[in-house]
Structure 1
Amino acid sequence: MHAMPRGYPRYVLAVMVGINFLNYLDRYILPAVATKIQGEFHLTDDQVGLLQSAFLLVYAVATIPFGIWADRGVRKTVIGIGVTIWSLATIFTGLARSYAQLFAARAVMGIGEASYYPAGTALLGDYFKKERRGRAMSIWAAGTAVGIAAGFAGGGIVAGTLGWRAAFYMTAVPGLVLAVLAFMLREPLRGAAEARGPQVSKAASITWRTFLELLRIPTMRATIAAETALFFVLGGAAFWLPTYLQRRFALEIGPAGTLAGGVLVVGLLAGSLLGGTIADRLAIRRRMASNLPVGIAGFILGAVFVALALVMPSLVLFVPVFLLGAASLYLYNGPYTAVKQNVVLPTVRATAVTVALLIEHLLGDSYAPWAIGRVSEALHSLQLALLILLPPLLVLAALFATLGLRHEDRDGRAMEARWASAAPIP
């Protein structure tokens, strides 16, 4: 690869953050306008929740071919094509005239967005060395927090003034511009950021054996199990938060979306940035990997704060407590993304992310909006549904992550040793 300007990795990170922002903005416009869609199409809680579940289910399954393609092909191309697909699908969501059309548009959007996480994290993994990777991934993950918040706030405000369809139209042009920028990025050699070992232009062939080998890594298993429980909480809470604010505290759609977005952007941004910084500093001080403990602390604190927030009788009390819960939960984001990059060979990083996402979305958040909607319908209370399901799953996430504590550093060193002794792949 030709020499590149010193600041080029930061430019790549900026583009990746922008795409990640749009990724989640497009995804979370739907929760912000859910009550409007329910009213127009006469939908129950579980039906509107199923729209998000359809997106997440297709997203999970589609990560398999996209992840393999990202490891065997040009990752920037995978990203550019995916951004184009989901930007067009967002437009068609706004054009939908029936529940079936809405369902189909959200499913296609899942196909497009499935491309980004495996290819994007693998690309960044080859632009930043291990000691800088946690912070880079946390900055990248901050785009998630800001995107979710912008989806809620922007979606709610636009829906309240111009109608819910206009909320989906507003992201098309930025998406297509970012797709062009992705196509224009330089593709780094795989392993370029590793201290030792070969640098290769493409990965080895991916087989079922590769999938099984990834799942044999104890740290990967623990991380995936913890994130699966967490994803149910994050997916369910994020989808239902605007509706909860409208029902519990009698807010209108615009203020509910804005408040949900504001709480999430502050909490999630703070947690994402702080988590990576803490993990990197602990790693330097202890001279060993320290990503998993940061997430465990966040899960436990999050369980306490979320439970407390859901029983608060007033909005004034709910907001600060939920804010602390959101910040605590997202301490995991950068560190756990780095974990999945640190314990696998550079040639299978995108596939490792694919395996993780497939399991986490299929068993975690893909059915969370629908499941919470079903429990809400059965109990006639969204508050009880959230209280019964969310805090216990956060405790479970902490327990799962604890199982990987003694393996994290050892698995990382094992990967480094294997890569240092590897022969270049033709």
Structure 2
Amino acid sequence: MSRLSPLLRWCESAFGGPARTGIVLMFGGVLALASADIGMVGALARPLEAEFGISHAELGLLATVSSGVGALVALPMGVFADRVARVRLLVLTVALWSVALIFGGIAPSYLWLLLSRLALGAAVAASGPLLASLLGDLIVAEDRAKVYGWILTGEMIGAGVGLIVGGGVGLALSWRYGFWLLGLAGAGLGAALYRWLPEPARGGPSRVPPGAVEIPQASPVTLRGAGAGADRSEAGQAWRSLAGTFGLLLRVRTIRLLVVASSIGYFFFAGLRTFVVVFVMEHYGVGVGELIGLVVAVGAGGLTGAVLSGRQTDRWLARGHSNARIIVPAVAYAATAVLFALGLLASTVPVALPLFVGGAFMLGAANPPLDAARLDIVAPWMWGRAESIRTVLRLSAEAGAPVLFGLLADWLAGVVGTTYGVNLRDTFLLMLWPLLANGLVMLLARRTYTADKQAADAAARARGAP
């Protein structure tokens, strides 16, 4: 315990006190599980292809099915996030996640493994709306990008753990142990959520100030009693209608732009983490030990980008730069495409590595301000449903990415006839073009973000939010 104390003290200082430390660690753990699972599939590419006799496209399908199922159920999960006890639902989905991973580890056939991953989709679909809604009620708007930055490091840590655990354990023992280890980690996380995360009140009474020891207890707030006149209004009728709610959300131009931008970013990340292990080992001829070092270095770049981006964006926002949460992701996405392209064109690891680290830094820097901006422009009682729209598009992109990356690499192998490593390099280069365009798309949101944020704040005040 004495060895952990300095680390815990550092976490409490960095995250803003014991209560916020618990929130960051638990929420980051949820994101880490999902990312580790997909990263592990990529790390286990060779053992899985050898054992089940599958192609690169069929390997990508293992990552696709869970994301595809998640996209189908994300909208109802958003409704649940706005209407039921969110912590209890989060615990149940993490438990389902763990069981699915353990059953996947005993799969005797490719079909069994494929079917076991369907259950993972439900957990992936639930985590996005639930975490967004909970975070909005736990963290004040001014600090959300910073806290999101720490939480989103879970995605990158999870991807690295999946690659390292999958590559190390899978090659040393069996690919099955990688699935079992993640399943046990999920069970521990579910127990931690059940034990230490109370259900916060909706609307702000449970928000955790910096330095707080525990999450404040408060009576539930519905945010629906603004008066009979509001209930009889056309807008009030639309809020109560599920179809009307999603229609209202999608008519907000800023929401559409931010959702599309986020989905394109995750599309590239999903394809990258599925095939990066095979690419690095084939193209650069590195072994497992060198691969782990490269993963750690690139992952550290992504972590640093997420943390510094969230913190600095909130500082710029406090200084009056109202579009900071739009400008930072726009620049980051464009820079990611340029840096990764230069790294892919490099022929040696010493030249490519700094460029990949820089690209990972920029890719990590895009998400914290982008996620905080989405909460800014939506009223609190709609956070779950708004996030479910983003989750549908994000998971659809993540579902399509591994298969599309795999199909494109297979097609290049048949048409161009180059080595697999070169085919994957060319695949990555082609898929960077949407990421470059993403930066330009984000800039369009500058014209509407501030007005939409002010409208969401006014609606929240009218319905009793503090």
TM range (shorter): over 0.9
Q: Is the 8 A contact 2:40 2:178 kept in 1?
A: yes
| Rounded Cα–Cα distance in structure 2 between residues aligned with 1:256 and 1:78 | 41
2:187 matched to which residue of 1? 176
| Rounded Cα–Cα distance in structure 2 between residues aligned with 1:287 and 1:392 | 29
Give the aligned residue type for 1:392.
W
1:187 aligned onto 2:199: yes
Give the aligned residue type for 2:445.
G
2:446 matched to which residue of 1? 405
RMSD: 2.1
Q: Is the 8 A contact 2:38 2:274 kept in 1?
A: no
2:320 matched to which residue of 1? 286
| Rounded Cα–Cα distance in structure 1 between residues aligned with 2:46 and 2:361 | 26
My pick for the range that moved more, 258-267 or 327-336, is 258-267
| Rounded Cα–Cα distance in structure 1 between residues aligned with 2:20 and 2:406 | 43
Q: How does 1:205-224 map to 2 (within 5 A)?
A: 205=240, 207-224=242-259
**Structure-2 change in CA distance of 1:76 and 1:257 (3 Å):** farther
Q: Is the 8 A contact 1:148 1:261 kept in 2?
A: no
Q: Is the 8 A contact 1:189 1:199 kept in 2?
A: yes
Give the aligned residue type for 1:273.
V
**Structure-2 change in CA distance of 1:321 and 1:287 (3 Å):** closer
1:384 aligned onto 2:396: no
1:270 aligned onto 2:284: no
Q: After TM superposition, give the deviation of residue 260 of structure 1 in Å.
A: 5.3
Q: Is the 8 A contact 1:59 1:114 kept in 2?
A: yes
**Structure-2 change in CA distance of 1:313 and 1:257 (3 Å):** closer
My pick for the range that moved more, 24-33 or 71-80, is 24-33
Q: How does 1:61-210 map to 2 (within 5 A)?
A: 61-184=72-195, 185-192=197-204, 200-201=221-222, 205=240, 207-210=242-245
Q: After TM superposition, give the deviation of residue 19 of structure 1 in Å.
A: 2.5
Could you tell me which of 352, 358, 373 is aligned with 1:318? 352
**Structure-2 change in CA distance of 1:202 and 1:73 (3 Å):** farther
2:58 matched to which residue of 1? 47
Per-residue CA distance 1:231-259 (angstroms, 9 max, x = gap): 2211111111111012112234x337524
Q: Is the 8 A contact 1:191 1:200 kept in 2?
A: yes
Q: Is the 8 A contact 1:278 1:294 kept in 2?
A: no
2:283 matched to which residue of 1? 248
Q: Which segments of 5 or more consecutive residues in structure 1 lack a partner in the other structure?
A: 1-5
My pick for the range that moved more, 10-19 or 335-344, is 10-19
1:231 matched to which residue of 2? 266
Q: Is the 8 A contact 2:42 2:163 kept in 1?
A: yes
Q: After TM superposition, give the deviation of residue 225 of structure 1 in Å.
A: 1.6
Could you tell me which of 368, 372, 375 is aligned with 1:338? 372
| Rounded Cα–Cα distance in structure 2 between residues aligned with 1:331 and 1:347 | 28
2:398 matched to which residue of 1? 365
Q: After TM superposition, give the deviation of residue 71 of structure 1 in Å.
A: 0.9
Task: Point out 4+ residue stretches in structure 1 off by more than 6 angstroms.
Answer: none
Matched residue count: 415
Q: After TM superposition, give the deviation of residue 159 of structure 1 in Å.
A: 0.8
| Rounded Cα–Cα distance in structure 2 between residues aligned with 1:63 and 1:255 | 39
> TM-score of the superposition, structure 2-length normalised?
0.85
Name the SS of the counterpart of 1:200 in structure 2.
Answer: coil
| Rounded Cα–Cα distance in structure 1 between residues aligned with 2:372 and 2:158 | 21
**Structure-2 change in CA distance of 1:206 and 1:239 (3 Å):** farther
Give the aligned residue type for 1:187.
E
Q: Which has the larger radius of gyration?
A: 2
Identity level (%): 25
Per-residue CA distance 1:145-194 (angstroms, 9 max, x = gap): 11111111111110111111111111222211211222232111111169
2:227 matched to which residue of 1? none
Q: Is the 8 A contact 1:56 1:366 kept in 2?
A: yes
| Rounded Cα–Cα distance in structure 1 between residues aligned with 2:222 and 2:26 | 22
1:307 matched to which residue of 2? 341
| Rounded Cα–Cα distance in structure 2 between residues aligned with 1:142 and 1:216 | 31
**Structure-2 change in CA distance of 1:342 and 1:103 (3 Å):** same
| Rounded Cα–Cα distance in structure 2 between residues aligned with 1:257 and 1:373 | 21
| Rounded Cα–Cα distance in structure 1 between residues aligned with 2:144 and 2:277 | 34
Name the SS of the counterpart of 1:405 in structure 2.
Answer: helix
Q: Is the 8 A contact 2:203 2:223 kept in 1?
A: no
Give the aligned residue type for 2:339.
F
| Rounded Cα–Cα distance in structure 2 between residues aligned with 1:356 and 1:126 | 19
Q: After TM superposition, give the deviation of residue 423 of structure 1 in Å.
A: 5.1
| Rounded Cα–Cα distance in structure 2 between residues aligned with 1:307 and 1:412 | 35
> TM-score of the superposition, structure 1-length normalised?
0.92
Q: Which segments of 5 or more consecutive residues in structure 2 lack a partner in the other structure?
A: 1-16, 208-218, 225-238, 414-422
| Rounded Cα–Cα distance in structure 2 between residues aligned with 1:356 and 1:95 | 33
| Rounded Cα–Cα distance in structure 2 between residues aligned with 1:215 and 1:257 | 43
Give the aligned residue type for 1:145.
M
| Rounded Cα–Cα distance in structure 1 between residues aligned with 2:343 and 2:355 | 5
Per-residue CA distance 1:262-309 (angstroms, 9 max, x = gap): 144212201111111121011011252421110011111111111111
1:394 matched to which residue of 2? 435
Name the SS of the counterpart of 1:170 in structure 2.
Answer: helix
